[in-house]
């Protein structure tokens, strides 16, 4: 009786496992076409998180600006060359150091701002720095050329 139960259990397990495997195998083939979008979705998520961490409560253009700064850094020889490398450069962003990037879940607006920056909208015209002028920051940062202020952030090259 007990043996029977074990056999039935094993059969159920096998069926479960194979049905799991077969469709996922087909999915893998179908998904090959979606690599372009998948890597973009990862970047999108990370960008939305940094927008939530750094620009919560800022006007929409300011949120697009923060996401654009990350993208501009990625293209610039003065900074690391991928979106994750730029975001996780030690000490580069306050919200990464204090964990806000993980504790705040991005809202619809944050995702929209990140998406529009990925599509090439850049209200900062190529800026690679932003900071809150009402908070203390390293002195050298003020030597940058300021392009614009949006909400509580100054954007500079």
Partner 1 sequence: MMKKSYIWLISFIVLGGLIFGYWSISSRAFSAENALEASYQRGFYNLLDHVNNLNLLISKTQVTSSDEQRIMLLTTIWHQAEGARNSLASLPLGDRDMTNMQKFFAQLGDFSYRLAEKLVKKQSVSDGDWETMNEFRKHVQSLNQELRRLQDNVSAGKIRWQDKPDSLFSSRQVKGVGDSLESIDEKLKKEAPTITYDGPFSDHVESPTVKGVTGEPISESEAVKIARQVVAKITDWNLNGDVVGKTKGSITAYTIEFRRANGGAPDIIMDVSETGGHVIWFLNTREIGSPKVAIKQAVDNAKAFLESMGYKDFEATGSLRENNTITVSFVPKVRDVLLYPDFIKVEVALDTGEIVGFNALAYLTFHTERNLPEPKITEDEVRASLNKNLSIDRIRLALIPDEALNEKLCYEVDVKLNSDRYFIYINAETGIEERILKVVETDKGTMTM
Which residue number, 31 or 103, has a Cβ lying nearer to partner 1?
31
Site for partner 1 in 30-49 (CB under 8 A): 33-37
Q: Is 93 exposed, middle or buried (0-12, 13-18, 19+ CB in 10 A)?
A: buried
* C-alpha to C-alpha distances, 45 to 37, 98, 108, 122, nearest whole angstrom: 12, 19, 11, 18
Which residue number, 60 or 152, has a Cβ lying nearer to partner 1?
60
Rounded to the nearest 10 degrees, the angle between the axes of helix 108-118 and helix 35-55 is: 120
1-9, 18-26, 47-55, 121-129 -> range binding partner 1 (CB under 8 A): 121-129
Q: How far does CA 2 lie from the centroid of its chain?
A: 52
Site for partner 1 in 55-94 (CB under 8 A): 59-61, 64, 75-81, 85, 89-93
Tokens of 47: 């960008």
Question: Least distance (Å) from partner 1 to the CB of residue 23?
Answer: 19
Binding residue for partner 1, selected from 56, 107, 132, 149, defined by CB under 8 A:
149
Q: DSSP 3-state assignment of 92?
A: coil
Which residue number, 104 or 115, has a Cβ lying nearer to partner 1?
115
- 118 in Cβ contact with 96 (< 8 Å): no
Binding site for partner 1 (CB under 8 A): 33-37, 59-61, 64, 75-81, 85, 89-93, 97, 108, 112, 115-116, 119-127, 138, 140-141, 146-149
């Amino acid at each position: 009786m007990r043996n029977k139960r074990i056999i039935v259990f094993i059969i159920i397990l096998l069926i479960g496992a194979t049905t799991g495997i077969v469709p996922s195998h087909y999915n893998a083939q179908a998904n090959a076409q979606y690599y372009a979008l998948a890597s973009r979705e990862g970047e999108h998520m990370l960008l939305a998180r940094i927008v939530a961490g750094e620009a919560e409560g800022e006007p929409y253009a300011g949120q697009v600006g923060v996401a654009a700064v990350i993208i501009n850094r990625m293209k610039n020889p003065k900074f690391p060359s991928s979106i994750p490398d730029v975001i996780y450069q030690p000490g580069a962003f306050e919200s990464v150091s204090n964990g806000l990037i993980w504790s705040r879940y991005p809202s619809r607006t944050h995702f929209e701002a990140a998406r529009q920056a990925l599509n090439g909208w850049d209200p900062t015209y190529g800026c690679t720095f932003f900071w809150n002028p009402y908070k203390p920051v390293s002195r050298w940062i003020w030597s940058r050329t300021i392009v614009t202020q949006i909400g509580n952030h100054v954007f500079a090259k």
